[in-house]
Amino acid sequence: MRANSLASFGALVCASLASLAAAPAHAAATITILNINAPNVGFNDPTPVAPVGGNLGTTLGQQRLNAFQYAASLWGATLTSSVTIVVQAQFSALACNATGAVLGSAGPISISRDFVGAPLPATWYHIALANKLFGADRLPANPDINANFNVNLGNPGCLTGIPFYLGLDNNHGTAVDLVTVLLHEFGHGLGFSTVTNGTTGAYFSGFPSSYDHFLFDNTVNKTWVEMTPAERATSAVNTRRLVWTGTNVGAAAPTVLNSGTPQFSVIAPASAAGTFLVGLSQFGPPLSTAGVTGEIMPVVDSAGGLGLACTPLSAVNAAAVNGKIAVVDRGVCIFTDKVKNAQNAGAIAVVIVDNVAGSPPPGNPGIDATVVIPSVRITQAEGATLKNALRFRSRTRSGVFGTMGINAAVLTGADANGRMLMFTPNPFAGGSSVSHWDQSASRNQLMEPNINGDLTHSVLPPEDLTFRMLQDIGW
C-alpha cells in the first residue's frame, strides 16, 4: 500500500488474455504497450511468418505486437482521456491442455480512491479510469494494466491445433481471434471488473469498487454496496439473479440484445408455480414463442425413483408420458437416446434433470435428426423442486402443468426489467464470476466469460455493450 488513496493491485485473471518503439494509438485516448518479454520470446520471437489479414509483420513477435497495437487503437478511438494508458504485456506459458486453455489475463496494476474528480467517495477505481477522472497520472512511474497471454496456444497439448489468429480482419475461421481476446482483456483492465472478493464478499482494504455500486441482486433487492460481506458472497453465486443497473447499459441493451429468453415454467397449480433456468439442447427443434404446454409427468424406471430413459419405456411409463412433458434424469446414456425414447412413447417435450450440483444448467449436446420434440436441462436442485411437486401424482395424471418455450418479452441475457445479467455460476468461478456478463446473452457479448467466434471488433452498440458499461462507471 502506498497511501490510503492508492494501492497496488495484482491483475485480475480472466480465463477466456524493455519499452517498445511502436507508435501509440492516435485518438481520444493514447494506449501504449510495454514489452516485458525476454529476447526471442513472445513479442520478440524472430520466427518468420507471412503477412495475414492486414497484419504485415514478418516475424511472429512483430505480428503479435501489431495485433496488440491494433486492439489498443480500437480502444483508443473509443475512450476519452488526456492521460496515456500503459499496458504492460507479455506472452508466457499459461494453463492449458489438449482441449482447453487459459487464453490470457489482464487487470489493473493499481487502484485509487478519494482523489479530486472521483464521482463516488470511499470507492476504488481502476487506475486508468482514476487517471482520466483526476486529469493526471496518479502513479507516473507505474504501468496501468498488466496483460499476459498464452504463448503456447495451438501447440500440441495446449488447445491443440487452435492457435491465435493474428490477422486484423477478424477472419479467424476455427482459430482464436487475438484482437477480440485483447479487446476483452483490456476491458477488464479499464474497469470491467470488481476488486471485491467474490468468495468472501470482503471489500479490498475495506472499500467497494466503482463496479459494485451497479451490481443489484434481484433476490434480496440490494446493491452490493448495501449488502454485508456474507450477502455479497451469496449473491456472487446467485445464478442469473445479479444484474447491472447502469443507465447507459440499460438504454442500449434493447438495441443490442435479441428478444426472447428460453425458459421452462410450471404454471399450475399455483402452489408449485415458478420459472426454471434451462440449458438448451443442440438437437431437436428450437424453442418457440408459442411454446409447448402440457401436463408434466416423470419417468421412473430405475432404483431410487430415477427415470433414466435409456431403453424404450415400459408400458406403464409410456402411458404416463403420452401427450405430456416428460421428466427424465441425466446419466448412463446420451441425451439424444433419452429424448428419443420419451418421444417414441408419445411425450411432447422432455425436461432432463442434471445429476450433479451446479448452476446454471449446461446444454444438452448431441445430434439426432429424428428427434422432433424440444428438450431442455434443469439443475439438480430445481429438478428436486419439480419432482417434489409431482409426488402426489397418479399413474397417468399429476395435475402439474408447464410450458417450455421462449419468453418474447424478455431480452436474451437480461432480466424482466431489461437489466443485463451478470455471470454468477454456482460454484464460484475464480477470475470469471461477477466480472462478466452472463453467458446467456444474445447476441453474444465481448465481455462474456468465453470468447465466441461470432464476435466483432466493436465495443459499441448495436454490436456490443462494453463501452456503455465503462461509461456507467465514469469513462
Domain ranges of the chain: 6-190, 211-257+412-462, 259-409
Give the separation between CA 137 and CA 177, rounded to whole angstroms.
Answer: 32
pLDDT for position 364: 96
Confidence of residue 256 (pLDDT cuts 50, 70, 90): very high
Cβ atoms of residues 106 and 188 within 8 Å? yes
Peptide bond preceding 425: is omega within 30 degrees of 0, i.e. cis?
Answer: no
Give the separation between CA 462 and CA 91, rounded to whole angstroms.
Answer: 32
* pLDDT over threshold 60, residue 441: yes
Going by their DSSP bridges, the two strands 176-177 and 164-165 should be labelled as parallel
pLDDT for position 57: 98
The closest alpha carbon to 383, from 289, 279, 309, belongs to 279
The closest alpha carbon to 105, from 179, 166, 186, belongs to 186
Confidence of residue 5 (pLDDT cuts 50, 70, 90): low
* pLDDT over threshold 50, residue 347: yes
For helices 466-473 and 247-256, angle between their N-to-C axes, nearest 10 degrees:
170
Cβ atoms of residues 371 and 339 within 8 Å? yes
pLDDT for position 13: 36
Give the separation between CA 227 and CA 219, rounded to whole angstroms.
Answer: 12
Q: What does the DSSP assignment read for 7-73?
A: EE-PPPP--------PPPP-SSS-EEEEE-PPTTSGGG---B---BTTB--SBHHHHHHHHHHHHHH
Which residue's C-alpha cell is 477480440? Answer: 180
pLDDT for position 7: 64
Q: Is 222 exposed, middle or buried (0-12, 13-18, 19+ CB in 10 A)?
A: middle
pLDDT for position 218: 98
Whole-number percent of the chain with pLDDT over 90:
94
Give the separation between CA 384 and CA 387, rounded to whole angstroms.
Answer: 5
Confidence of residue 14 (pLDDT cuts 50, 70, 90): very low
pLDDT for position 1: 25
Average pLDDT of the residues in 49-54: 98
Cβ atoms of residues 73 and 27 within 8 Å? yes
Task: Count Cβ atoms below 10 Å from residue 337 Cβ, excluding itself.
Answer: 17
* pLDDT over threshold 70, residue 24: no
pLDDT for position 159: 96
Which residue's C-alpha cell is 438504454? Answer: 251
Strand order through the sheet with 242-244: 222-223, 215-217, 242-244
Average pLDDT of the residues in 41-51: 98
Backbone angles phi, psi at 381, to 5 degrees: -65, -45
Buried b (16+ CB within 10 A) or exposed e, 394-433: eeeebebbbbbbbbeebbbbbbeeebbbbbbbbeebebbb
Architecture of 259-409 per CATH? 3-Layer(bba) Sandwich (3.50)
Average pLDDT of the residues in 452-472: 97
pLDDT for position 6: 60
* pLDDT over threshold 60, residue 108: yes
* pLDDT over threshold 90, residue 53: yes
Q: Summarize pLDDT for 120-139 with one digit per residue, the tens.
A: 999 999 999 999 999 999 99
Give the separation between CA 356 and CA 354, rounded to whole angstroms.
Answer: 6
Supply 433's cell numbers.
Answer: 464470476
Average pLDDT of the residues in 171-178: 97
Q: Is 162 exposed, middle or buried (0-12, 13-18, 19+ CB in 10 A)?
A: middle
Per-chain mean pLDDT for the chain: 94
Q: Where are the alpha helices (DSSP H) in 50-145?
A: 60-76, 127-134
User: Within a 13 Å sphere around the CA of 288, how many CA atoms are in the beta-carbon half?
Assistant: 9
* pLDDT over threshold 50, residue 22: no
Which residue type does 82 have?
S
Which residue's C-alpha cell is 495485433? Answer: 67
The closest alpha carbon to 433, from 425, 441, 443, belongs to 425
Q: Summarize pLDDT for 222-242 with one digit per residue, the tens.
A: 999 999 999 999 999 999 999
